[in-house]
Amino acid sequence: MSKVPPTVRKKYQSTAKCTDKTQHECDVMNSIRGNLTGYDCPKCLNRGTVFKVDGNYIVSRECECMKIRRSVWNIEKSGIKELLSRCTFDNFQDTEEWQKDLKSGASTFITDHIGKWFYAGGQVGCGKTHICTAICGELLKQGMSVRYMLWRDEVVKLKANVNDSEEYQKLINVWKTAQVLYVDDFFKTSDTEDGKKKKPTQADINVAFEILNYRYINPKLITIISSERSINDLLDCDEAVGSRIYERTKDYCFYFRPDKNKNWRLR
């Protein structure tokens, strides 16, 4: 210490004092409880931010718990909280070859989805919803925001607001811009008297086109679709909608023809 010139020593002492004071302020800030809920964090006491001294300043950074919180929030607003716990990759039944194919395709899709969509088509009970939900679960774990759109219900809400431009845009933008969108039972309609599926109405087609075309031109948005219909059937319903789905799902298009053996819910 004796070799340090007095002026420097003085400066050093005053900085040290200042740091002590700053550290105390910082400790006080770190001891205040926050009001975030859903996860009890011992590090930030539920503020979401932690403070530390950097030189003479107090700097803040986001607490690690925010990742967990975001994931919890994402699950809450995804609309498939219940399904997510039931439908995982681990409990997807894959004893048959076609089930193995579906599962392996779905797991590849999780990391290979730029400009590609996932399509699971075919009869009720073949595990379409299960596998699509499992994909959503994995993407949520990666911190992505997922929205679940049960086609029949949501299209009714959208069409009911079609004359209120502001409300309509607000509603449809949720589906257009979702980072991950899962459309379940796409173009689901009632059956005709001879047991065939009714075609969707022009209003249904318009809504589908607006959502899917937006996602088509924004290839980073992840789109997962399940439907009882085949791609050919979709092309029959509407060429513009069907061809966009066809093009985007080339690598990940699964369709299961009506076959009692594939309906393992019936076993």
Residues within the interface to Zn ion (CB under 5 A):
41, 43-44, 63, 65
What is the closest distance, in whole angstroms, from the C-beta atom of residue 139 to Zn ion in the complex?
23
What is the closest distance, in whole angstroms, from the C-beta atom of residue 116 to Zn ion in the complex?
36
What is the closest distance, in whole angstroms, from the C-beta atom of residue 94 to Zn ion in the complex?
38
Between 26 and 44, name the residue whose CB sits nearer to Zn ion.
44
What is the closest distance, in whole angstroms, from the C-beta atom of residue 43 to Zn ion in the complex?
4
Between 45 and 174, name the residue whose CB sits nearer to Zn ion.
45
Between 66 and 235, name the residue whose CB sits nearer to Zn ion.
66
- DSSP secondary structure of the chain: -TTS-HHHHHHHHHHHHHHHHHHHHHHHHHHS-----SS--TTTTTSSEEEEEETTEEEEEE-THHHHHHHHHHHHHHS-HHHHHH--STT----SHHHHHHHHHHHHHTT--TT-EEEEEESTTSSHHHHHHHHHHHHHHTT--EEEEEHHHHHHHHHHTTT-HHHHHHHHHHHHH-SEEEEESTT---B-TTSPBPPPPHHHHHHHHHHHHHHHT-TTSEEEEEESS-HHHHHHH-HHHHHHHHHHTTTSEEEE-S-GGG-TT--
Q: Decide: 140 and 75 in contact? Cβ < 8 Å.
A: yes
Between 63 and 80, name the residue whose CB sits nearer to Zn ion.
63
Between 70 and 116, name the residue whose CB sits nearer to Zn ion.
70
Round to whole Å and give the CA distance between 190 and 210.
23
Between 61 and 257, name the residue whose CB sits nearer to Zn ion.
61
What is the closest distance, in whole angstroms, from the C-beta atom of residue 57 to Zn ion in the complex?
21
Between 47 and 244, name the residue whose CB sits nearer to Zn ion.
47
Round to whole Å and give the CA distance between 99 and 119.
14
What is the closest distance, in whole angstroms, from the C-beta atom of residue 146 to Zn ion in the complex?
23
What is the closest distance, in whole angstroms, from the C-beta atom of residue 230 to Zn ion in the complex?
48
